[in-house]
Structure 1
């Protein structure tokens, strides 16, 4: 069953550091089976607080999603992200 990760950027703390995160996150893809379905496109907030940006990733299953997220390469990128911006990160199961 597919799984998805959604990264919701609430606010930017350091734009230059956020660029570093982008480079590290791209490099963390490695051979992980992920597909970027959306990344920082136009946003219309219908309910709730507005977001600065959204990324939606698809994985074959939740184990693959967690393997990517917990990989040393992404954890290195994550450390930069935590200093660069305030995000909400959710993983959820798709319909099979």
Structure 2
């Protein structure tokens, strides 16, 4: 069953670190079956606190999503994201 990695940025606090992340994150997908469905696009808040940005990435299953997230390449890139601002990140199974 498909699974989705969902990244919800609360607030961008360091644009320079986010720029570094943006420059390297694409390379982390090489060798992983990932499809980016949404990435910091226009959003419309319907309930709750409006996030600063949302990313949704589809994988064939949760194990593939976790393998990408835990890969050394992504963890190295993520170090810049962690400095760029607070995020909530989840992997959720699809239907």
TM-score range, shorter chain: over 0.9
Please list, as runs of the form range in 1=range in 2, the aligned pairs for 1:74-85 lying within 5 A after superposition.
74-85=74-85
* Alpha-carbon distance in structure 1 between the residues aligned to 2:35 and 2:3: 11
Per the alignment, in what secondary structure is the counterpart of residue 28 of structure 1?
A: helix
SS at match of 1:11: coil
Alignment map for 1:1-96 (pairs within 5 Å): 1-95=1-95
Scaled by the length of structure 1, the TM-score of the pair is: 0.95
Query: Hey, what's the Cα distance between the residues in 2 that align with 1:37 and 1:90?
Result: 15
Extract unaligned runs of 5+ from structure 2: none
Following superposition, the deviation at residue 31 of structure 1 comes to: 1.2
The number of residue pairs the alignment matches comes to 95
- Please give the alpha-carbon distance, in whole angstroms, between the structure 1 residues aligned to 2:49 and 2:94: 24
Deviation of residue 85 (structure 1)? 1.3
Higher strand share: 1
Superposition TM-score, scaled by structure 2 size: 0.96
Separation in 2 of the partners of 1:90 and 1:67? 14
> Structure 1: which 5+ residue stretches go unaligned?
none
* CA shift digits 1:2-54 (9 cap, x unpaired): 00011111101110110101122111111100000111111111111111111
RMSD value over aligned CA atoms? 0.8
